[in-house]
Each structure stands twice: as C-alpha cells, then as structure tokens.
C-alpha cells in the first residue's frame, strides 16, 4: 500500500492530514536535529578558525552561514509537514547551546528565525512542492531573516556592509542549505534511509521508471 500521494509534478506528499505527525516523523526530525546540533558545535570551531581569513572584508563571512540553515531545509524535505523545519532547526540550535556556543542563548533566537524562513517558503507552495528550487528558496528566506537579526544583535557594520553581508548569507543559504540540503536528502533516499518518507517514495518511483520497458 502506498504511503504517500503525489502531485502532477511528481512530488510525493506526506500521507494523511498535514498537521498529523506520525511517531516516525517526530523521531526522525528529532534525530536530525540532534545530529545537526553536534555538527553546529563542530562548525562553530571551524567558523572561528576561518573567520580571520575575511579580516580585510568582514561581510564576506556571510558565505559561511549556510551550514547553520541545513537542519530546517533537510527536516522540511524529509517530513514534509508544517512545523518540521522549525522543529528540526530549533532542536539543533538547542543542542548547540547545551554543548556550548559562543553565541549563547542567541542561537535559540537564530534557530527560530531560520526555521521560520524555511516554513514560509514551503507554505507558499502549500506543502506540495519539494524540489531543489523550493529548498533553495527556503535557504534564501532563512538566511535573510538571520542576517537581519545579526545586523541588530551582533554585527557592527555600516548599512552598506550589512547589505553585503546579507547578500553573501543568502547566496550561502541557497547553495549550501538549499542545493546542498536537497542533495543530502536524495543521498539518504538512495541509501534506503527514507523508505517510509516521501523522499523514499520518489526515489522508488524513479527506479521503477528507469526499469520500465521503453516504448
């Protein structure tokens, strides 16, 4: 029995009412959030090592920011229900905070804003479009919201540099979180880790299409 329905464009949808999470949805989003929280903790160290390389033009550091947006994009693409991006991103930020973050409680605010950005993107398509374009749009929205927050909370830039930093962050959100997040979900589906999720159904449909006799 099929666990998902599909749109005319071939995007597999979550089964049943969108707001009714299955236990496996909750567990998987939680596992993703915890795993990315550990990644965040490590990326904090890498970020602090790489940041001095941008000393001559600090706004370019925005290019490093896309990594922090990945949980929201991946969580949304896997679970495909309202709140998945926000839940996964907030949990990742909470783990980062508990492990020790240089941004202290601010990481929780960032997590909320980043998750909200992806939620807005997928809501625009009524949770029925799940391609790389939607993932990239989610990464862009998440980065834009985070850049505005950082302009007030952390950065001591001029307005012009704030704009450049935001643009660099959006590029990173599109490429790393959007395109990279979509690629990660496809890789997980190919590995068989998402058999009970829409991404797994899409992968099976692709294999069946390739195996079907050609007219």
| pLDDT, mean over the chain | 92
Element (H, E) at 201: helix 198-211
- If you average pLDDT over residues 52-75, what whole number do you get? 95
pLDDT at 7: 67
Greater model confidence, 6 or 129: 129
Backbone angles phi, psi at 6, to 5 degrees: -130, 155
The residue extents of the domains of the chain are 18-200
Position 213 scores a pLDDT of: 73
Give CATH for domain 18-200.
1.10.1760
Integer CA distances (angstroms), 75 to 56, 102, 194, in order: 36, 25, 12
What pLDDT was estimated at residue 31?
98
Dihedral sign from CA coordinates of 117, 113, 73, 91 = negative
Q: Provide the whole-model pTM.
A: 0.93
Task: Kindly report which listed range (15-19, 119-123, 157-161, 193-197) carries the lowest average pLDDT score.
Answer: 15-19
Instruction: Kindly give the interhelix angle for 70-79 and 132-153, rounded to the nearest 10 degrees.
Output: 150
- First-to-final CA distance of the chain: 27
For 184-209, write each residue's pLDDT tens digit.
999 999 999 999 999 999 999 888 76
Rg (CA), the chain: 18
Q: How many CA atoms lie within 13 A of 63 on its CB side?
A: 9
Query: Rounded CA gap, 187 and 179, in Å?
Result: 12
């Amino acid at each position: 029995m099929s666990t998902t329905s599909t749109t005319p464009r071939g995007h597999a949808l979550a089964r049943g009412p969108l707001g009714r999470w299955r236990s496996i949805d909750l567990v998987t989003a939680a596992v993703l959030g915890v795993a990315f929280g550990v990644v965040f903790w490590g990326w904090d160290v890498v970020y602090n090592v790489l940041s001095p390389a941008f000393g001559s033009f600090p706004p370019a550091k925005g290019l490093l920011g896309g990594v922090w947006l990945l949980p929201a994009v991946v969580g949304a693409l896997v679970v495909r229900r309202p709140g998945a991006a926000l839940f996964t991103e907030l949990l990742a930020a909470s783990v980062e905070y508990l492990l020790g973050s240089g941004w202290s409680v601010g990481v929780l605010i960032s997590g909320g804003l980043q998750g909200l950005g992806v939620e807005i993107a997928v809501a625009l398509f009524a949770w029925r479009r799940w391609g790389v374009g939607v993932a990239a749009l989610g990464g862009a929205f998440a980065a834009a919201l985070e850049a505005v927050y950082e302009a007030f909370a952390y950065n001591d830039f001029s307005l012009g540099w704030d704009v450049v930093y935001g643009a660099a962050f959006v590029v990173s959100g599109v490429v790393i979180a959007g395109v990279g997040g979509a690629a990660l979900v496809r890789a997980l589906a190919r590995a068989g880790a998402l058999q009970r999720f829409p991404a797994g159904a899409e992968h099976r449909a692709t294999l069946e299409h390739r195996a079907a006799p050609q007219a």
